[in-house]
């Protein structure tokens, strides 16, 4: 909106009344129907104000799939009374969610004892049992399953609800001590980044957040850092104040788009076409950085036309061959004194060989600006301008950050297209440049597993995460008799939720470990109460923050809630796993830290920076691949029957894909992350509900709404063949016409997850999740 | 001239995370639905516009809450804070109606009204108001109004906001671009 915004007249419909009311910010009192959810303020908000002056302070971390900010907790009389960002020991500040954890710890609806189902699954009828009874029952069920179905009848799922070092890894160790089990593979969040980035660049979790403020051009591509990278967003503003241009590509006029110079709406799942179209301009107008391409990328590597494979010097894993323009011969890419040819088109070699550059250009050249416009709805002139701006404003940074663009049917190619753009323009390895992924401690130091995991006693089969429901219902690959779910809420996060629900009902014994009665716990046979942050000791050293942090126990958990670690330790004792699990948290933290150069004593004084500052991934163009170059040809894609270079494949669940389906369900739905939750975490805390609202919404364009007789604030049903999602219409032109934005993370007790309608298609190149290629229709609730 | 504290709000860089709002709630332990600081949204469709403004009490020079309170619950302190003696409040809501900014918050459970005190107790300890301290974007500042004016440029009102002439609020707003002249 850059050009228009300069002439933009202030909204004229603002009155004093609307100013006082604001919009959306004043939530009505929370109304949570269903099982055991109350909407009253937590008890910390009651009674006489607490005097924080004499409080004892402890530090911990906000450990779900977010930025892992260090937190300072205030304790008075054994009760957690306030949480603040531990600034400046952590130089970025925790957000409203982190501060609200005080209400999580003190939540009146905490689960305090193991709960055994007495009614139907999902009915919410339970009886409290003792830990001894619960553990005996679990051991019995495990043994029964092993006897009747074999180890493949066991399954577990950990998620991103807790990245503590003594949590998820311990589950993996535990199930391997049992001999192994059926496992779920592929993260719902960023699987295709995990499978695309390492073969191309040599690693994952390489974030450029330290130098955002040095960028001259920030291309925010299908992600919304104003919400999902919020504590670093001031750096974007800093860059802009120094003259950087920021452009946001998103179907929705996001919070980030609102801060950008330009919003580029796009059809979901078409990002690779836009990327290739931009690359075509960059190649044809010779805006690429030839020196960088030759020195630091594999685009000159020769490809045998007969086999379609890159050729290598005999006996060498990394000895890719290139055509040397000086000696006019085929030589290893890393030989001194050569000038590799980008292209061999038009030479004698062309009969037998091509180069990676030629392969890439062959894909890019199909995407004329006009064709890109047809496919993506990004105007042709915008495609040309974006390409020129991005290639000539240096350093330029692409913000990828596990964005929604890659949760699409061929998301791997969209991820790859962004890497191509950064490589072709020589933006990698420079302050203010590169491609921003999530990143953190694990990229630079190796933190050990707390409990070394034995090798499983066989291969028991895998379930692609998006297909959890379908696979379980079809006993594919195995009939599952026992399921353990922790640190995740499948009933809010997994696509095609009706199938997930049916699957949880089908599995004879489901254990859910959680601290509150989550949407998933509702469908358990046994719920085990666990601790939350500030109630147990742990180590946080993962891929989201540059600091290693000690998570201190500040208060006792309610009732008989136990840490995930302790639960496994108790079970390990019953199952006779020996001493491996039998250590204190502090001892296990020492194990984790061994060899890192960081000590527990150091961490007791505060978070420890474990990443070079500023961190510049692939500094000076040195990549972490075997060749140390960006390898833009991905053999793994070829082995799966796909083009080894980035290609655009039209999604199926898309208006131009399956036309019959699109006629029935003509609206494209994307699923957005909202300020109130991280996935579903925090979703029922009173302060969060009060500040951000407690009702799911769907954002719909005024023209799409009018065509369906829907007005702003109407209750509507979003539906397709998979199911329906009931919510409230937010009618605004803040989304491209023809697309609607669903909100991620709503609990069953709040009306249910929008994932009831989202696609469970498995992205075929990397095994990813494609919720953002979902077709729906919307009707007014009768 | 009497001393006067104030707030600077960098609306141009505010991205609406609402951390200030929850930090305030947590610090002041306010009742459900009572928020001394709120983040307002401003939206427009054609052309699209979305902006957010975080506002607590503006500790006005001519506070209408104080002027209209029938029991004298409000006082203007030496440092310019408009302070409510909550024990005097009778819940009549005159201040709620009088304040152009919708600052005083009535709690139906308690039957009384309360409002932002500029974190008076924290100020007395040499701390900043909690909202300012908590803002991850560094988009709020507190301090002596004259010093804030020397450091930041901005306005007391933009189109759609109440006229500053009513109360002379102790605020400097750097408006979002859509509200800039």
Task: Calculate mean pLDDT across residues A273-283.
Answer: 98
**Burial level of A563, CB count in 10 A (0-12/13-18/19+)?**
buried
Q: Is the dihedral of CA A32, A33, A38, A39 positive or negative?
A: positive
pLDDT of residue B33: 84
Q: Helix A191-201 crosses helix A411-424 at what angle (to 10 degrees)?
A: 40
Task: Calculate mean pLDDT across residues B61-67.
Answer: 98
User: Does the distance separating the beta carbons of A49 and B134 come in below 8 Å?
Assistant: no
Q: Which residue do the tokens 């494609």 mark?
A: A770
Distance from the A66 Cα atom to the nearest Cα atom in chain B, whole angstroms: 14
In degrees and rounded to multiples of 5, residue A632 shows phi and psi of -85, 0
Residue of B nearest to A52 (CA): B27
pLDDT of residue A241: 97
More confident residue, A32 or A331: A331
Q: Which of B125, B134, B178 sits opposite A10 (nearest CB)?
A: B178
Q: pLDDT band for position A578 (50/70/90)? A: confident
Question: Is A20 a residue whose pLDDT tops 80?
Answer: no
User: Does the distance separating the beta carbons of A44 and B125 come in below 8 Å?
Assistant: no
> For residue B16, which residues of chain A lie inside 8 Å, CB to CB?
226, 255, 675
Q: pLDDT band for position A293 (50/70/90)? A: very high
Distance from the B1 Cα atom to the nearest Cα atom in chain A, whole angstroms: 30
pLDDT, one tens digit per residue, over B126-176 is 999 999 999 999 999 999 999 999 999 999 999 999 999 999 999 999 999
Q: Which of B47, B86, B97 to mutate to test the interface with A (most CBs of A within 10 A)?
A: B47
Question: How many other CB atoms are there within 10 angstroms of residue A194's CB atom?
Answer: 20
Q: What is the 3-state secondary structure (H, E, C) of A400-422?
A: CCCCHHHCCCCHHHHHHHHHHHH
User: Quick one: what percent of chain A has pLDDT higher than 70?
Assistant: 94
∠ Cα A68 A73 A74 (to 5°): 170
Q: pLDDT band for position A559 (50/70/90)? A: very high
> For residue A94, which residues of chain B lie inside 8 Å, CB to CB?
19, 136
pLDDT of residue A51: 83
Angstrom distances, CA of residue A20 to CA of A578, B18, B98: 64, 17, 12
Check residue A676 and report its DSSP letter: T
> For residue B129, which residues of chain A lie inside 8 Å, CB to CB?
none
- A31-40, A47-56, A389-398, A654-663: least confidently modelled range: A31-40
Q: What CATH code is assigned to B5-179?
A: 3.30.70.20
Question: Is A6 a residue whose pLDDT tops 50?
Answer: no
Residue of A nearest to B127 (CA): A53
- Non-local (6+) Cβ contacts of A278 within 8 A are A383, A386, A387, A390, A421
> Do the beta carbons of residue A495 and residue A755 sit within 8 Å?
yes
Half-sphere exposure (Cβ direction) of A276: Cα atoms closer than 13 Å = 28
Q: Which of B18, B45, B125 sits opposite A96 (nearest CB)?
A: B18
Q: Which of A49, A84, A233 sits opposite B29 (nearest CB)?
A: A49
Q: Parallel, antiparallel, or unpaired for β A321-324 and A667-672?
A: unpaired
Angstrom distances, CA of residue A27 to CA of A77, A476, B32: 32, 45, 10
Spatial separation of the C-alpha atoms in residues B143 and A11, rounded to whole Å: 31
pLDDT of residue A590: 97
Of A306, A261, A357, A318, nearest in space to A628 by CA: A318
Distance from the B18 Cα atom to the nearest Cα atom in chain A, whole angstroms: 6
User: Does the distance separating the beta carbons of B13 and A234 come in below 8 Å?
Assistant: yes
User: Does B126 contact A at CB distance below 8 Å?
Assistant: no
Residue of B nearest to A45 (CA): B29
User: Does the distance separating the beta carbons of A734 and B45 come in below 8 Å?
Assistant: yes
Prediction pTM value: 0.95
Q: pLDDT band for position A53 (50/70/90)? A: confident
Average pLDDT, chain B: 96
User: Does the distance separating the beta carbons of A16 and B100 come in below 8 Å?
Assistant: yes
User: Does the distance separating the beta carbons of A45 and B134 come in below 8 Å?
Assistant: no
Task: Calculate mean pLDDT across residues A305-311.
Answer: 98
Question: Is A344 a residue whose pLDDT tops 80?
Answer: yes
pLDDT of residue A3: 35
pLDDT, one tens digit per residue, over A699-730 is 999 999 999 999 999 999 999 999 999 999 99
Q: Which residues pair with A778 in a beta bridge?
A: A718
Sketch the domain layout of chain B as residue ranges.
Answer: 5-179
**Burial level of A67, CB count in 10 A (0-12/13-18/19+)?**
buried
> For residue B155, which residues of chain A lie inside 8 Å, CB to CB?
none
> Do the beta carbons of residue A429 and residue A621 sit within 8 Å?
yes
Spatial strand order in the sheet of B140-144: B140-144, B5-9, B171-173
Of A248, A634, A188, A206, nearest in space to A420 by CA: A634
Check residue A750 and report its DSSP letter: G
Question: Is A495 a residue whose pLDDT tops 70?
Answer: yes
ipTM of the complex, rounded to two decimals: 0.97
User: Does the distance separating the beta carbons of B102 and A8 come in below 8 Å?
Assistant: no
Angstrom distances, CA of residue A426 to CA of A290, A294, A335, A339, A622: 8, 10, 21, 18, 12
User: Does the distance separating the beta carbons of B31 and A45 come in below 8 Å?
Assistant: yes
Spatial separation of the C-alpha atoms in residues B169 and B56, rounded to whole Å: 11
CB pairs under 8 A between A and B: 173
Q: Is A741 helix (H, G, I), strand (E, B) or coil?
A: strand
Spatial separation of the C-alpha atoms in residues B29 and B107, rounded to whole Å: 13
Of A742, A637, A767, nearest in space to A188 by CA: A767
pLDDT of residue A45: 41
pLDDT of residue A18: 55
> For residue A255, which residues of chain B lie inside 8 Å, CB to CB?
15-16, 50
Spatial separation of the C-alpha atoms in residues B145 and A355, rounded to whole Å: 65
pLDDT, one tens digit per residue, over A405-426 is 999 999 999 999 999 999 999 9
User: Does the distance separating the beta carbons of B136 and A92 come in below 8 Å?
Assistant: yes
Task: Calculate mean pLDDT across residues A362-381.
Answer: 98
Average pLDDT, chain A: 94
Distance from the A337 Cα atom to the nearest Cα atom in chain B, whole angstroms: 50
Question: Is B90 a residue whose pLDDT tops 70?
Answer: yes
Strand locations in A487-594 (E): 509-514, 526-529, 538-540, 547-551
């Amino acid at each position: 909106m850059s050009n228009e915004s300069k002439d933009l007249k202030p909204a004229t419909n603002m009155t004093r009344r609307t100013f006082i009311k604001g919009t959306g910010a004043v939530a009505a009192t929370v109304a949570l129907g269903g099982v055991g959810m109350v909407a009253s303020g937590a008890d910390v908000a009651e009674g006489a104000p607490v005097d924080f002056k004499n409080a004892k302070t402890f530090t911990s971390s906000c450990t779900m799939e977010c930025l892992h900010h260090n937190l300072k907790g205030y304790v008075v009389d054994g009760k957690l009374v306030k949480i603040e960002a531990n600034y400046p020991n952590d130089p970025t500040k925790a957000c409203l969610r982190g501060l609200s954890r005080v209400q999580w710890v003190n939540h009146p609806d905490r689960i305090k004892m193991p709960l055994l189902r007495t009614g139907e699954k999902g009915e919410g009828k339970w009886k409290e049992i003792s830990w001894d009874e619960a553990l005996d029952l679990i051991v019995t069920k495990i043994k029964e399953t092993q006897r009747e179905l074999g180890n493949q009848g066991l399954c577990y799922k950990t998620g991103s609800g807790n990245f503590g070092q003594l949590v998820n890894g311990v589950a993996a160790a535990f199930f391997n001590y049992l001999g192994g089990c059926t496992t779920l593979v592929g993260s719902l969040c960023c699987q295709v980044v995990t499978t695309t980035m390492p073969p191309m660049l040599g690693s994952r979790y390489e974030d450029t957040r330290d130098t955002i403020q040095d960028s001259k051009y920030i291309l925010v591509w299908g992600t919304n850092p104003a919400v999902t990278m919020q504590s670093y967003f001031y750096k974007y503003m800093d860059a802009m104040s120094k003259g950087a241009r920021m452009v946001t590509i998103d179907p929705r006029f996001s919070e980030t788009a609102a801060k950008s110079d330009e919003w580029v709406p796009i059809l979901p799942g078409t990002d690779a076409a836009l990327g290739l179209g931009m690359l075509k301009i960059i190649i044809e107008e010779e805006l690429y950085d030839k020196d960088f391409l030759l020195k630091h990328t594999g685009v000159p590597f020769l490809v045998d036309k007969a086999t379609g494979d890159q050729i290598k010097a005999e006996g060498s894993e990394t000895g890719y061959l290139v055509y040397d323009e000086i000696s006019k011969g085929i030589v290893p890419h890393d030989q001194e004194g050569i000038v590799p040819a980008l292209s061999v088109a038009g030479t004698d070699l062309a009969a037998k060989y091509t180069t990676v550059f030629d392969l890439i250009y062959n894909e890019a050249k199909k995407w004329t600006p006009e064709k890109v416009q047809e496919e993506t709805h990004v105007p042709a002139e915008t495609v040309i301008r974006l390409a020129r701006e991005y290639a000539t404003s240096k350093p330029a940074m692409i913000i990828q950050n596990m964005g929604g663009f890659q949760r699409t049917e061929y998301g791997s190619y969209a991820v790859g297209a962004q890497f191509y753009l950064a490589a072709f323009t020589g933006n990698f390895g420079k302050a203010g440049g590169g491609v921003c992924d999530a990143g953190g401690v694990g990229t630079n130091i190796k933190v050990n597993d707390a409990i070394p995991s034995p090798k499983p006693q066989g291969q028991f089969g895998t379930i692609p995460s998006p297909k959890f429901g379908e696979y379980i219902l079809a006993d594919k690959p195995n009939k599952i008799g026992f399921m353990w779910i922790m640190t995740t809420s499948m009933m809010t996060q997994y696509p095609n939720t009706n199938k997930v629900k049916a699957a949880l009902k089908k599995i004879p014994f489901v254990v859910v470990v959680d601290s509150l009665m989550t949407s998933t716990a509702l469908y358990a046979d046994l719920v085990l109460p666990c601790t939350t942050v500030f109630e147990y000791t742990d180590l946080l050293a993962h891929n989201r923050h540059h600091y290693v942090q000690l998570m201190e126990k500040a208060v006792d958990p309610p009732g008989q809630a136990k840490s995930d670690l302790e639960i496994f330790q108790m079970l390990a004792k019953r199952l006779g796993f020996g001493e491996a699990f039998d250590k204190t948290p502090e001892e296990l933290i020492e194990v984790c830290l061994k060899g890192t150069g960081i000590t527990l004593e150091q961490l007791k004084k505060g978070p420890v920076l474990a990443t070079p500052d500023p961190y510049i991934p692939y500094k000076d163009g040195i990549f972490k691949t075997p060749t140390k170059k960006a390898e833009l040809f991905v053999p793994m894609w070829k082995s799966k029957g796909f083009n080894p270079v980035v290609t655009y494949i039209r999604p199926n669940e898309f208006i131009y894909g399956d036309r019959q389906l699109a006629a029935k369900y003509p609206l494209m739905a994307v699923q957005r992350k909202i300020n109130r939750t991280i996935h579903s975490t925090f979703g029922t805390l009173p302060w969060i509900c009060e500040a951000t609202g407690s009702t799911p919404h769907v954002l719909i364009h005024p023209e799409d709404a009018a065509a369906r007789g829907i007005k702003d604030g109407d209750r509507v049903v979003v539906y397709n063949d998979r199911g329906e999602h009931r919510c409230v219409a937010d009618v605004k032109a803040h989304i491209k016409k023809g697309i609607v934005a669903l909100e991620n993370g709503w609990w069953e007790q709040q009306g249910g997850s929008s994932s009831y309608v989202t696609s469970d298609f498995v992205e075929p190149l990397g095994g990813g999740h494609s919720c953002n290629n979902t077709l729906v229709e919307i009707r007014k609730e009768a | 001239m009497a001393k006067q504290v104030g707030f600077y709000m960098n609306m141009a860089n505010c991205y609406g995370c609402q951390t200030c709002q929850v930090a305030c709630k947590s610090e002041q332990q306010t009742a459900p639905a009572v928020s001394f600081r709120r983040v307002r949204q401003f939206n427009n469709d054609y052309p699209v516009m979305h902006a957010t403004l975080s506002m607590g009490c503006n500790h006005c020079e001519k506070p209408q809450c104080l002027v209209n309170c029938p029991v004298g619950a409000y006082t203007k302190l030496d440092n310019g804070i408009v302070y409510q003696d909550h024990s005097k409040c009778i819940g009549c809501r005159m201040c709620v109606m009088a304040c152009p900014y919708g600052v005083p918050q009535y709690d139906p459970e308690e039957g009384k009204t309360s409002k932002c005190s500029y974190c008076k107790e924290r100020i007395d300890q040499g701390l900043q108001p909690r909202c300012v301290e908590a803002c991850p974007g560094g988009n709020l500042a507190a301090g002596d109004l004259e010093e804030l004016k020397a450091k930041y440029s901005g306005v007391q009102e933009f189109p759609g906001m109440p006229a500053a002439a009513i109360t002379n609020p102790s605020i400097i707003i750097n408006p979002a671009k859509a509200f800039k002249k």
